[in-house]
Structure formats: structure tokens, C-alpha cells
């Protein structure tokens, strides 16, 4: 205990000693040097405090006073790059961006402004790394993809920012070219500019390489970016050979070679750099050696990779080196290499020894957020299965032991064990551990959430957010509590969805008001906007989406949703009638303008045309343009995006194609729409393709209805033929078919009078489904088979195959499974009408009407059955009975089921007089 007090006293004295120079009248030269030293040594808290003291120093003059925002911004970016707490990293980057932006805007002509631009680019790159880590750790596919898209966008923005900064630095450097005397102060300035320019160029290329990693291996976007990066690194190596920048460029050019499949060439470069004799190049050699190990693993030289990993750990044995990204990567590659060498023939003793080494190597990796953490966790679980929780064992642990083991259990994703250990630690916490209790509660809430104990996670995290709002992890606690509520709401066995929604709204509003500039607040605003829009509260939804900050990573998503909210409001106004037409038109124009700007901003930010957000934005814009009467403009907007898609599957592509087809149909370009769908059919794997066609085909069906109501017979005939071709293409599709898609296609063919084609589709569908045991076991399979058989009878009827149709109906009506269904009875009536057997038809329709009359309220089919009976009477020249039938129904049911049915009754009565 005394030793701890002494240590605390020493630290306090050191801090006082370090900060003591920050007094009135501080010499700017020594103060700036001291500040840089603090930052370089990682004393970020002390650096921040020192900067605040300098700000309040009345004797501190220029230039240092004006550079404080710049120095603070750099220190924050440095700290963000080293912290393993992702929420803390995001907060630091937000603060850094604010400081650096303020400096650049306030001193646009300052000599340090160009270096501030480099730091802004670096903060964008760090945001890219952060988004990638969050995305790779996300459980939901949609959130994972959104974060990975965001990472790629951040790296692209970093590339552009580095390039701009490098160009400005180069221009300033060239302005000082030419001979200068050695003691000329401009020589030092020129050297500084040259070094900063080289740093910016190098980091620009590295950001390109990082951007490439965000694309799938088969993406066409990878190649051009890699070529640009190789060209940039090539130029740096040739122009600055022998310098640190030149060697780093050489090394990252080799990494690009790896991505291009030229692993042998890359290995040659790494070996050359590793053999450099100078100890001054230790960092470069450390990186090159790590890259060499990765390349060996790619070549499946596992034994050599393991040997080199051991050698790396022996050479680079400093604590900071082993805890660096490269150090953790070496541990991971060592584990992979050892695992690859274990075969079924490996002796048990060797297996056990290798397993022990693998677990030891992976233990530090899984505790730190890196791009290989998830793979490391999967490998660790292979050799270290979850240990059972022993209550007696946990009870013997001290607070510190339970806390440490709880954190280790979280790192290895042993949620039950983590929960038990953290609860034990909290139970043993005393006044001395008060400062650690909140973090333990947060970790416990997270473990509960990951273990799907959502109510407990919500209570724990919500308490931290509301009761400790000034705590650094309070915003993250609020985000965790909100996500727990959403997952409760979406659970299949949700108990109180309405209550879940109200609790979410309350906490989301609290989050947005308490931490308005945090990313968690923007996340809350976006979900609030979605809730309000879903409730038809469009004004509030617009306000929610519009309140997402300019600097938010989700700004473009919010703007797209804002456009969607304006569009939804315009449709609601349009449905209100002619009085609201001008308001609806103005709202629609606003929606289109917002969506167009959002799409332009995405392009400017370097978003790939395959990004989910980009596709959704384009689809929304295309639909809004089309429904605003600008179908040709929608096609012009969407065509290049559709043509740029390499992967023609997935919900986002489905939305894009739906919007594109809608535009083509409204522009009368039905054949191009059919051609585009056939092109999709030929494009490889298609697990969802038939479903995509199914959705798009419904749009054509709607267009048929529109043309029929618009009384455009010529266009209607053309559209029917195109629709028929489309339905046949859908029915012939070999991939991704479902019972519902084929049944719908057959129904569409029936609506066009294509009985023979519909019969072929239905016979195959029924035959295949009867043999499919998995389908037969699905809920509702009986009803779906019934309707398919009824459609088959319809197909036979419209071909005038009356005997076959009658046999099909009799088979259904005699089947005990179908006794309670009315569908076969209605089709039997249709068959009797088609056969012109009016006496039997009249009796049958009356029987159907009697059966339907028991339902409350009476369905439309009830009124239609009496109408069909009256028609049968009229066909038998029994006008009085027909009239009596209709008037009796109308007397008892004045509305006759609806305006359309009532008009049918009135029209028939008019012919019976």
C-alpha cells in the first residue's frame, strides 16, 4: 500500500514538473518544442492540459498562440490512432476535425496551414480505419455493409485531401527552388516543405491501397486504383531513392503487387528492405518483415512463415513494437502458420504443443480491435473452447482478478462467462474501485446484449447514459441501450412492441439533446426519422433527418432519407385531392432536388456505384423523377449506374432495377426493360434473380391496369405482348424460382388469355411441389396447392378443355382437405358459365351465395355470386327472376359491397326493364 502512494506521488510531481513551464510569458520556441515532445512520447492528456494553459497565458504571443488549434488537432489525431477504444477514437477524431478546420479557416495563408491539410487528410484516413473495424465487428449485415462502404468513402476522401495538400506543398517548395546560402533561413523552410510534401504523397498512395482493400476481389474498381497507387509509389521511389519516403514507397508498391497477384515480386522487395544494414531503418524493416510473413502465408509456405514470425518477435521485442498493428499481425500469422501445419497424422503431443502456442499467440490479438480480430477469434475458439462457468471458482477471485478475466472473456466472446465474472467483480467493488465500476457495468451490459439478454442490457446501459451523462462512455451506453430496445422490438417473440418503440423514442430524444454533436446522436436522429415517417408524421421526419450534422459520417444517408421523407409527404398531399396539388408538386420538387444533390455529393466523395447507399439513393431519385413525369430524365440518370453494376444480385440491386424498370415502362421503353432483365438472367449466379423478376413483373402488371383504365387500346395490346414475353422468361428462369413466383407468373398468363402457356407452368409447378417434402411441410402449403390447382382448371377452361377442367374441379371438391374452401366452387361456376349451362349455373351461383352469406362482413364474392345468378336467369329469358334477385340483395345491402359492384347491379337492372 505505501508503495502505491509513493508511485502516485511521483506521477503527480512529474506532472507538476512538466506543466510548470506553462507560466505567463512562456518562450514560444521552448514551449512549442516541449509540446511536440509531449505528443511524440504519447503524453496526450498532458499535452492537452499544457495547450489549455498556454491558451490562458496572457503573455503568450504569436505565432504560437495562433498555432494552438493546429497542435491540439495533431495531438488528437495521434491519440486517436493509438487508442483501442473505438468510441473514444471516434470522439477524438471529431474533436481533431473541429480544431483543424477552425485553424485552416482562421489562418488560410499561414505557413502551417498546408501541414494542417495533411493532418485533416490523416484524420479522414483514421476514420476509414475506424469505420472498417466497426463494420467488421457488426452483427447485422446491413450495418456491416454500410460501415464498410463508409470506410471506402473515407479512404477515397483521404486520397483526394492528401493529393490537394501535396500539390500545395509542392508549389510552395518549388517557389523556394534554386541556390540558397547555407545560413539562409529559407533553406530550413524548403527542407520542411519537401519533407511534408513527400509525407503527403506517400500517405496518398497508402490511402489508395487501403481504399482497394474495401472492394471485393472481383470488383472492377480495384484495378484502376491499384495502377494509380503503383504509379505514385514508382515515382516516389525513383525520385527519392535512398530516402525513407522512397523506401516506404517501394514497400507499399510491393503491397500493391500482392493485391495484383504478383506475390513473388513483392517478396523480393521485402527481402531487399529487410537486408538493409542501417539500424535507423528499424521501422521500415519491421514493416517489411511483417509483410514478408503475410506473403509467405499467401503462398502457403506455412513452416517458413512460422519461422519468420518467431524471428520477427525475437528481433522486435520492444513492448510498443509487439503491441503495434504489425506486431499483432505477426502473432496472428504465427497462429495461422502453426494451424496450417497440423494434420490428422500429426502426433498428439505435437498437436497439443502447437495448440498451446496458437492460444498464446492469439490471446493478445483478440483483445485489440484490428482487421484480423474476428479471424483470430474464430481460430482461438478452435483450440480453446468456451470454458464452463464455475461459481465456486469465480467466488474465490478478487475484484481485480474477476475484472481482468471478465475483460478477457469479452475479448474471446465468451458471453456467459464474461457476465458471471463481471457480476462477481461488481459485487466485490468497494470505494477504492468506484472509478472502475461504471466501465464494468458497461462491459456487463455489452455482454448481456451479445448474449441476447436485451432487457438487462437496456436497463444497465440506459442507467449509465442517463445517470452519468458526463462520463466519456455515456453516449456509447445510450447507443447500446437503444440497440437493445430495437432488438427486443424485432425479436420474433416480442412482448410489447408499442412499449419498445416509445422507450426507444424517449431515449433517442435524450441522446440527441444531451450529446448533439456525437455520432450516436445522429444515429438516433435517423432512426427517429424512420419511425416518424412510418407513422405518417412527415414534418417531424423531415426535421429529424435534416438535423444530422454536416460532418456526420451518416450525413449522405440522412440526406437521402430526407429526400425520401419529402417525397412521402408529397404523395400524402397528392392523395388529399386537387386542393393540395400545388403543395404536393412543390414537395416533390424539393424531394428531387435533395436526392439529386445527395447523389452528386456521393459521387464527389468517391462512393463506388456498387455501394448500397449509392444504389438506394439512385433508386429513390429515379422513382421520384419517374412519378414526377420525368421518366426520360430518370432513365438518363440510372442507365450508367445500371450498366456499371458487376454483381447483379442483392436487395440494393433489386431496388435499382425496380426503379429503372418503372422509368422504362413509363417512357414506353418496354422492350429495353425486357432486354435488361434478360441480360441479368445471363449474368452468372442468381439465387435471388427470379424473385427480382417477380417484383419487377408486378410493375408491368400495374402498367397494364393503368393503360386499361386510360382507354389506350393500341398501347395496351403492345404492353400485353411484352408482359406475356416477360412472364414466359420468368417461368423459364432456371435459378432462384419459388412456388409463389411461378404461381404468380401463371396467374399473369391467365390474365392475358394465354391458357396453354399457363397450363404448362402450372402442371410442372404442381408436379414438382407434390414431390418436394420440404414444401409440403411448410405452413400454408395446402392452401397454395389448392389455388394452383384452381388456376390449372382455369387454364383448361379458357382453352375450352371443359371435360378436363370439370375433372380437375371435381377432384378438388371431393378432397376432404379442400371442403372448407370456396375457390373451387367459384371456378365451377365459371366453368358452367363458359359451357352456357345456364340452369345449372344459376343454381350453383345461388348455392355459392348462400355459403358466402354466413360470413360477417359479407365479402365482395357474395354479391358477385348473386349477380352471376341473376345473369344466368337473364340468359334463360327469366328477366323477372333476375330483377327480383338483384333488388332483394340491394334492399338488404344498399352499398352492395362497394361502388363498382353497385354499378354492375344497376347496369344489369337497366337491361332487364
**Angle formed at CA 863 by CA 858 and CA 866, multiple of 5 degrees:** 130
Banded pLDDT at 23 (limits 50, 70, 90): very low
Q: Which three cell numbers stand for residue 902?
A: 353497385
Q: Is 219 within 8 Å of 646 (Cβ atoms)?
A: yes
More confident residue, 77 or 108: 77
Q: What is the spatial distance between Cα 191 and Cα 175, in angstroms, rounded to a whole number?
A: 12
At residue 16, does pLDDT exceed 50? Answer: no
Q: Which three cell numbers stand for residue 511?
A: 441522446
Banded pLDDT at 675 (limits 50, 70, 90): low
For the segment 750-754, the average pLDDT, to the nearest whole number, is: 89
Banded pLDDT at 670 (limits 50, 70, 90): low
At residue 10, does pLDDT exceed 60? Answer: no
Say what the pLDDT of residue 672 is. Answer: 76
Q: Which three cell numbers stand for residue 797?
A: 377452361
Which residue reads 417434402 in cell numbers? Answer: 773
Comparing 37-46, 210-219, 454-463, the range with the smallest average pLDDT is 37-46
**Angle formed at CA 798 by CA 795 and CA 799, multiple of 5 degrees:** 85
Strands (E) located in 6-94: none
Which residue reads 375433372 in cell numbers? Answer: 807
Report CA torsion sign: 367, 369, 370, 371.
positive
Q: What is the spatial distance between Cα 404 and Cα 549, in angstroms, rounded to a whole number?
A: 38
Q: What is the 3-state secondary structure (H, E, C) of 189-256?
A: HHHHHHHHHHHHHHHHHHHHHHHHHCCCCCCCCHHHHHHHHHHHHHHHHHHCCCCHHHHHHHHHHHHH
Say what the pLDDT of residue 748 is. Answer: 85
For the segment 390-402, the average pLDDT, to the nearest whole number, is: 83
User: 25-36, pLDDT tens digit by residue?
Assistant: 555 667 777 877
Say what the pLDDT of residue 224 is. Answer: 92
Which residue reads 478478487 in cell numbers? Answer: 398
Q: Which three cell numbers stand for residue 153?
A: 468513402
User: 309-334, pLDDT tens digit by residue?
Assistant: 999 999 999 988 998 999 999 999 99
Q: What is the spatial distance between Cα 159 and Cα 200, in angstroms, rounded to a whole number?
A: 9
For the segment 528-533, the average pLDDT, to the nearest whole number, is: 95
Banded pLDDT at 1 (limits 50, 70, 90): very low
Residue 388 is given by DSSP the state P
User: 825-866, pLDDT tens digit by residue?
Assistant: 999 999 999 999 999 999 999 999 999 988 888 899 999 999
- Mean pLDDT highest for which of 6-10, 118-122, 862-866? 862-866
Say what the pLDDT of residue 733 is. Answer: 65
CA distances, 551 to each of 70, 93, 98, 150, 273 (Å):
19, 11, 9, 13, 40
Say what the pLDDT of residue 711 is. Answer: 77
Q: Is 114 within 8 Å of 65 (Cβ atoms)?
A: no
User: 551-577, pLDDT tens digit by residue?
Assistant: 788 899 999 999 999 999 999 998 888
**Nearest Cα to Cα of residue 339 among 375, 386, 387, 374:** 375
Q: What is the spatial distance between Cα 172 and Cα 131, in angstroms, rounded to a whole number?
A: 34
Comparing 3-7, 243-247, 488-492, 683-687, the range with the smallest average pLDDT is 3-7
Q: What is the spatial distance between Cα 21 and Cα 11, in angstroms, rounded to a whole number?
A: 17
Q: What is the spatial distance between Cα 248 and Cα 395, in angstroms, rounded to a whole number?
A: 53
Kindly report whether the peptide bond that precedes residue 91 is cis, defined as omega within 30 degrees of 0. no
User: 482-521, pLDDT tens digit by residue?
Assistant: 999 999 998 877 678 889 999 999 999 999 999 998 989 9
Give the largest CA-CA distance in the chain: 120
Q: What is the spatial distance between Cα 204 and Cα 896, in angstroms, rounded to a whole number?
A: 73
Burial class of residue 233, CB neighbours in 10 A (0-12, 13-18, 19+): buried
- Looking at every residue in the chain, the average pLDDT score rounds to 86
Kindly report whether the peptide bond that precedes residue 589 is cis, defined as omega within 30 degrees of 0. no
**Nearest Cα to Cα of residue 525 among 551, 501, 545:** 545
At residue 534, does pLDDT exceed 60? Answer: yes
Q: Is 649 within 8 Å of 689 (Cβ atoms)?
A: yes
Comparing 71-80, 350-359, 605-614, the range with the smallest average pLDDT is 605-614
Q: What is the spatial distance between Cα 760 and Cα 766, in angstroms, rounded to a whole number?
A: 10
Say what the pLDDT of residue 34 is. Answer: 80
Comparing 367-371, 708-712, 789-793, 884-888, the range with the smallest average pLDDT is 708-712
For the segment 115-119, the average pLDDT, to the nearest whole number, is: 89
Task: Name residues whose C-beta falls within 8 Å of residue 297's C-beta, 6 or more positions apart in sequence.
Answer: 305, 333, 336, 337, 340
- Mean pLDDT highest for which of 43-57, 139-153, 835-849? 835-849
User: 679-706, pLDDT tens digit by residue?
Assistant: 454 433 444 445 545 556 666 777 777 7
At residue 911, does pLDDT exceed 50? Answer: yes
Q: Is 765 within 8 Å of 788 (Cβ atoms)?
A: yes
User: Spelled out in words, what is the top-level CATH class assigned to the domain 457-547?
Assistant: mainly alpha
Q: What is the spatial distance between Cα 839 and Cα 869, in angstroms, rounded to a whole number?
A: 9
Say what the pLDDT of residue 29 is. Answer: 60
Return the axis-axis angle of helices 823-834 and 802-813, rounded to nearest 10°.
160
More confident residue, 455 or 188: 455
Say what the pLDDT of residue 4 is. Answer: 35
Say what the pLDDT of residue 27 is. Answer: 59
Say what the pLDDT of residue 28 is. Answer: 60
For the segment 177-186, the average pLDDT, to the nearest whole number, is: 81
Return the axis-axis angle of helices 713-732 and 670-681, rounded to nearest 10°.
0
Banded pLDDT at 3 (limits 50, 70, 90): very low
**Angle formed at CA 91 by CA 13 and CA 216, multiple of 5 degrees:** 130
Distance of CA 44 to the CA centre of its chain: 34
Report CA torsion sign: 323, 328, 331, 334.
negative
Q: What is the spatial distance between Cα 673 and Cα 676, in angstroms, rounded to a whole number?
A: 5
Say what the pLDDT of residue 273 is. Answer: 94
At residue 15, does pLDDT exceed 60? Answer: no
Say what the pLDDT of residue 7 is. Answer: 34
**Nearest Cα to Cα of residue 565 among 599, 590, 600:** 590
At residue 159, does pLDDT exceed 70? Answer: yes
Q: What is the spatial distance between Cα 210 and Cα 226, in angstroms, rounded to a whole number?
A: 10
For the segment 468-494, the average pLDDT, to the nearest whole number, is: 90
**Nearest Cα to Cα of residue 316 among 303, 299, 329, 298:** 329
Q: How many CB atoms lie within 10 A of CB 911?
A: 9
Banded pLDDT at 736 (limits 50, 70, 90): low
Residue 390 is given by DSSP the state -
Locate the domains of the chain by residue range: 457-547
Q: Which three cell numbers stand for residue 707?
A: 393503360
Q: Is 63 within 8 Å of 54 (Cβ atoms)?
A: no
Q: How many CB atoms lie within 10 A of CB 2?
A: 6
Say what the pLDDT of residue 20 is. Answer: 45
Percent of the chain with pLDDT over 70: 91
For the segment 721-735, the average pLDDT, to the nearest whole number, is: 74
Q: Is 606 helix (H, G, I), strand (E, B) or coil?
A: coil
Q: Which three cell numbers stand for residue 307?
A: 519461422
Burial class of residue 572, CB neighbours in 10 A (0-12, 13-18, 19+): middle
For the segment 422-427, the average pLDDT, to the nearest whole number, is: 91
**Angle formed at CA 213 by CA 209 and CA 218, multiple of 5 degrees:** 115
Amino acid at each position: 500500500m505505501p508503495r502505491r502512494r509513493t508511485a502516485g506521488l511521483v506521477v503527480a510531481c512529474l506532472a507538476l514538473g512538466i506543466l510548470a513551464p506553462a507560466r505567463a510569458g512562456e518562450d514560444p520556441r521552448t514551449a512549442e518544442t516541449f509540446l511536440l515532445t509531449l505528443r511524440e512520447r504519447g503524453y496526450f492528456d498532458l499535452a492537452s492540459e499544457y495547450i489549455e494553459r498556454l491558451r490562458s497565458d496572457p503573455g503568450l504571443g504569436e505565432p504560437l498562440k495562433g498555432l494552438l488549434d493546429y497542435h491540439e488537432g495533431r495531438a488528437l489525431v495521434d491519440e486517436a490512432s493509438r487508442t483501442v477504444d473505438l468510441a473514444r477514437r471516434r470522439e477524438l477524431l471529431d474533436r481533431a476535425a473541429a480544431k483543424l478546420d477552425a485553424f485552416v479557416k482562421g489562418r488560410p495563408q499561414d505557413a502551417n496551414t498546408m501541414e494542417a491539410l495533411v493532418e485533416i487528410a490523416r484524420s479522414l484516413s483514421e476514420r476509414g480505419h475506424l469505420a472498417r473495424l466497426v463494420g467488421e465487428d457488426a452483427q447485422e449485415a446491413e450495418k456491416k455493409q454500410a460501415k464498410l462502404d463508409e470506410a471506402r468513402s473515407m479512404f477515397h476522401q483521404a486520397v483526394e485531401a492528401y493529393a490537394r495538400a501535396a500539390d500545395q506543398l509542392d508549389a510552395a517548395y518549388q517557389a523556394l527552388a534554386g541556390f540558397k546560402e547555407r545560413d539562409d533561413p529559407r533553406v530550413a523552410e524548403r527542407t520542411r516543405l519537401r519533407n511534408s510534401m513527400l509525407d503527403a504523397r506517400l500517405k496518398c498512395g497508402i490511402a489508395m491501397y487501403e481504399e482497394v482493400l474495401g472492394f471485393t476481389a472481383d470488383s472492377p474498381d480495384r484495378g484502376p486504383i491499384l495502377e494509380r497507387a503503383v504509379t505514385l509509389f514508382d515515382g516516389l521511389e525513383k525520385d527519392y531513392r535512398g530516402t525513407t519516403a522512397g523506401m516506404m514507397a517501394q514497400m507499399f508498391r510491393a503491397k500493391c503487387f500482392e493485391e495484383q497477384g504478383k506475390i513473388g515480386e513483392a517478396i523480393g522487395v521485402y527481402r531487399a528492405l529487410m537486408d538493409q544494414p542501417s539500424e535507423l531503418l528499424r521501422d521500415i524493416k519491421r514493416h517489411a518483415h511483417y509483410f514478408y510473413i503475410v506473403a509467405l502465408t499467401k503462398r502457403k509456405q506455412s513452416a517458413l512463415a512460422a519461422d519468420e514470425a518467431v524471428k520477427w518477435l525475437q528481433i522486435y521485442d520492444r513492448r510498443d513494437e509487439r503491441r503495434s498493428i504489425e506486431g499483432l499481425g505477426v502473432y496472428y500469422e504465427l497462429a495461422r502458420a502453426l494451424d496450417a501445419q497440423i494434420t490428422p497424422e500429426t502426433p498428439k503431443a505435437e498437436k497439443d504443443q502447437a495448440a498451446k502456442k496458437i492460444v498464446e499467440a492469439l490471446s493478445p490479438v483478440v483483445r485489440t480491435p484490428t482487421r484480423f480480430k474476428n479471424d483470430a477469434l474464430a481460430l482461438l475458439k478452435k483450440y480453446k473452447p468456451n470454458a464452463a462457468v464455475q461459481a465456486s471458482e469465480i467466488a474465490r477471485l478478487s475484484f481485480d482478478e474477476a475484472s481482468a478475466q471478465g475483460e478477457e472473456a469479452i475479448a474471446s466472446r465468451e458471453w456467459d462467462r464474461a457476465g458471471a465474472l463481471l457480476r462477481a467483480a461488481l459485487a466485490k467493488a468497494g470505494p477504492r474501485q468506484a472509478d472502475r465500476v461504471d466501465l464494468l457495468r458497461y462491459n456487463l451490459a455489452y455482454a448481456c446484449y451479445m448474449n441476447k439478454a436485451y432487457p438487462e442490457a437496456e436497463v444497465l446501459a440506459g442507467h449509465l447514459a442517463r445517470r452519468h451523462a458526463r462520463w466519456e462512455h455515456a453516449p456509447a451506453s445510450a447507443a447500446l441501450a437503444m440497440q437493445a430496445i430495437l432488438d427486443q422490438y424485432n425479436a420474433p417473440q416480442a412482448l410489447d412492441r408499442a412499449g419498445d418503440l416509445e422507450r426507444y423514442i424517449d431515449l433517442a430524444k435524450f441522446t440527441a439533446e444531451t450529446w448533439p454533436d456525437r455520432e450516436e446522436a445522429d444515429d438516433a436522429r435517423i432512426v427517429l426519422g424512420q419511425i416518424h415517417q412510418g407513422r405518417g408524421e412527415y414534418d417531424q421526419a423531415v426535421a429529424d433527418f435534416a438535423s444530422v450534422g454536416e460532418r456526420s459520417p451518416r450525413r449522405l444517408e440522412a440526406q437521402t432519407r430526407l429526400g425520401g421523407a419529402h417525397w412521402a409527404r408529397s404523395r400524402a398531399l397528392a392523395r388529399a385531392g386537387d386542393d393540395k396539388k400545388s403543395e404536393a408538386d412543390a414537395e416533390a420538387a424539393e424531394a428531387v432536388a435533395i436526392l439529386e444533390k445527395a447523389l452528386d455529393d456521393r459521387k464527389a466523395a468517391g462512393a463506388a456505384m456498387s455501394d448500397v447507399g449509392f444504389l438506394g439513393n439512385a433508386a429513390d431519385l429515379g422513382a421520384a423523377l419517374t412519378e414526377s413525369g420525368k421518366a426520360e430524365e430518370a432513365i438518363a440518370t440510372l442507365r450508367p449506374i445500371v450498366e456499371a453494376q458487376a454483381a447483379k444480385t442483392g436487395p440494393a440491386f433489386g431496388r435499382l432495377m425496380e426503379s429503372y424498370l418503372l422509368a422504362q415502362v413509363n417512357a414506353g421503353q418496354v422492350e429495353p426493360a425486357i432486354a435488361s432483365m434478360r441480360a441479368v438472367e445471363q449474368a452468372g449466379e442468381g439465387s435471388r434473380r427470379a424473385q427480382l423478376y417477380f417484383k419487377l413483373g408486378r410493375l408491368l402488371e400495374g402498367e397494364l391496369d393503368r393503360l386499361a383504365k386510360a382507354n389506350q387500346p393500341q398501347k395496351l395490346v403492345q404492353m400485353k405482348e411484352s408482359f406475356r414475353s416477360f412472364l414466359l422468361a420468368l417461368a423459364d428462369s432456371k435459378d432462384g424460382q419459388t412456388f409463389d413466383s411461378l404461381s404468380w407468373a401463371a396467374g399473369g398468363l391467365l390474365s392475358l388469355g394465354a391458357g396453354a402457356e399457363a397450363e404448362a407452368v402450372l402442371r410442372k409447378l404442381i408436379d414438382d411441389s407434390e414431390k418436394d417434402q420440404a414444401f409440403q411441410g411448410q405452413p400454408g402449403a395446402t392452401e397454395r396447392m389448392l389455388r394452383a390447382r384452381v388456376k390449372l382448371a382455369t387454364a383448361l377452361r379458357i382453352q375450352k378443355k371443359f371435360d378436363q377442367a370439370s375433372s380437375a374441379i371435381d377432384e378438388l371438391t371431393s378432397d376432404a382437405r379442400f371442403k372448407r374452401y370456396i375457390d373451387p366452387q367459384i371456378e365451377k361456376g365459371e366453368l358452367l358459365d363458359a359451357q352456357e349451362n345456364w340452369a345449372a349455373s344459376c343454381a350453383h351461383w345461388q348455392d355459392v351465395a348462400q355459403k358466402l352469406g354466413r360470413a360477417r362482413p359479407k365479402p365482395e364474392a357474395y354479391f358477385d355470386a348473386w349477380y352471376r345468378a341473376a345473369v344466368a336467369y337473364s340468359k334463360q329469358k327469366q328477366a323477372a327472376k333476375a330483377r327480383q334477385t338483384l333488388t332483394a340483395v340491394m334492399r338488404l345491402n344498399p352499398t352492395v359491397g362497394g361502388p363498382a359492384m353497385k354499378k354492375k347491379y344497376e347496369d344489369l337492372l337497366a337491361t332487364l326493364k
